[in-house]
Homo-oligomer: A and B are copies of this chain.
Amino acid sequence: MADLAANAPRFLADAQAIAAQVPDGAFVALPPDYSLVAAEVVRALVRRRARGLRLLGVPVLGYGADLLIGAGCVESVETSAVSLGEAGPAPRFTEAVESGALRVVDSTCPMVHTGLQATEKGVPFMPLRGVIGSDLVTERSDWKVIQNPLTSEPDPIVLAAAIEPDIALFHARWADRSGNVWIGRRRELATIAHASRRTYVTYEELRDGDMLEDELLAPGVLSSVYVTAAAPAARGAWPLGVVDLYAIDDAHLAHYGRVARTREGFERYLEEFVWRSTRERNSSPAPSHA
């Protein structure tokens, strides 16, 4: 993982082409379920039988991670939580941890953000208040409690080591021909991209013009300077949502949360929703199983 700077905009054909860029064993940062998950790439990773991925939840993981874990693509997760939200616990995650198949590096939300902000600024660590007294500190050899060097009063404070993902992977509402992508108020995606060596983005629609030249759009843009490659994926977040475009498919997530409780149910789910062609998924309205 050497390249940091992407210069000329690079477009790939589809989510499958993005999945081909994610090597086995990569440290991949993913957003939470409510923040533009590149679900179509997740399915493509399952189909290409990716192995040994190390996932970073920024700051939590959900449906996409559970799918990858169940399909055997994941070696470890570093995250503050893995959950399907209202649809309950993440079943494949829970099973994999309880059976010892998955290593979890437990964190707490602001420590993930802090570790990424450290990389974003190019510093090796960043402090955070709180956390002291949590067993998380004992388990994390990469965190360190020090005396605040700016005071002579006793004042212990924890340092997060910089987190440096190999790959940032997410979905966006728009891309433009300059390679910029629009992420709206989901600024964690910007932080992930700033901190990662490579950033791959799927997008709903290509937009004409340069979004950075438009003062109204620009505040929600992630500049192409951070984007290694982008590819189209209409409804690419499904069954998760894209605000103003399609809502999270609660019925489908609830269905997943139920059937994936067993290995067999999960395999049937994969068969139905992942192994069948992507094109079918994208061209027809997403099915709901209530």
Interface contact A243-B215, CB-CB below 8 Å: yes
What residue in chain B is nearest A243 (Cβ atoms)?
B215
Query: Residues of A with Cβ closer than 8 Å to B?
Result: 110, 114, 117, 121-129, 142, 144, 146, 148-151, 155, 157, 159, 161, 184-185, 187, 215-220, 243-244
What residue in chain B is nearest A216 (Cβ atoms)?
B216
What residue in chain B is nearest A182 (Cβ atoms)?
B219
Interface contact A219-B184, CB-CB below 8 Å: yes
Interface contact A128-B123, CB-CB below 8 Å: yes
- 12 A-B pairs besides A123-B129, A215-B243 with CB distance below 8 A are A110-B121, A122-B129, A124-B148, A124-B157, A125-B150, A142-B150, A149-B159, A150-B159, A184-B215, A185-B215, A185-B218, A185-B219
Instruction: Contacts A184-B215, A215-B184, A215-B244 given; indicate if A151 touches B124 (C-beta within 8 A).
Output: yes
Chain B residues with CB below 8 A from A126, complex form: 123, 126-127
Bound Cα distance A158, B96 (Å): 43
Q: How far is the CB of A119 from chain B (nearest CB, A)?
A: 12
Contact of A149 among B114, B122, B125 (CB under 8 A): B125
Interface contact B146-A149, CB-CB below 8 Å: yes
Interface contact A123-B157, CB-CB below 8 Å: yes
Chain B residues with CB below 8 A from A117, complex form: 117
Chain B residues with CB below 8 A from A187, complex form: 219
Chain B residues with CB below 8 A from A243, complex form: 215
5 contacts between A and B (CB under 8 A): A114-B121, A121-B129, A125-B127, A126-B127, A184-B216
Chain B residues with CB below 8 A from A148, complex form: 124-125
What residue in chain B is nearest A144 (Cβ atoms)?
B149
What residue in chain B is nearest A161 (Cβ atoms)?
B150
Bound Cα distance A217, B216 (Å): 7
Bound Cα distance A217, B128 (Å): 31
Bound Cα distance A184, B220 (Å): 9
Chain B residues with CB below 8 A from A124, complex form: 127, 148, 150-151, 155, 157
Q: How far is the CB of A97 from chain B (nearest CB, A)?
A: 28
Bound Cα distance A185, B221 (Å): 9
Bound Cα distance A123, B194 (Å): 22
Chain B residues with CB below 8 A from A220, complex form: 216, 218-220
Q: How far is the CB of A99 from chain B (nearest CB, A)?
A: 33
Q: How far is the CB of A123 from chain B (nearest CB, A)?
A: 5
Chain B residues with CB below 8 A from A216, complex form: 184, 216-217, 220
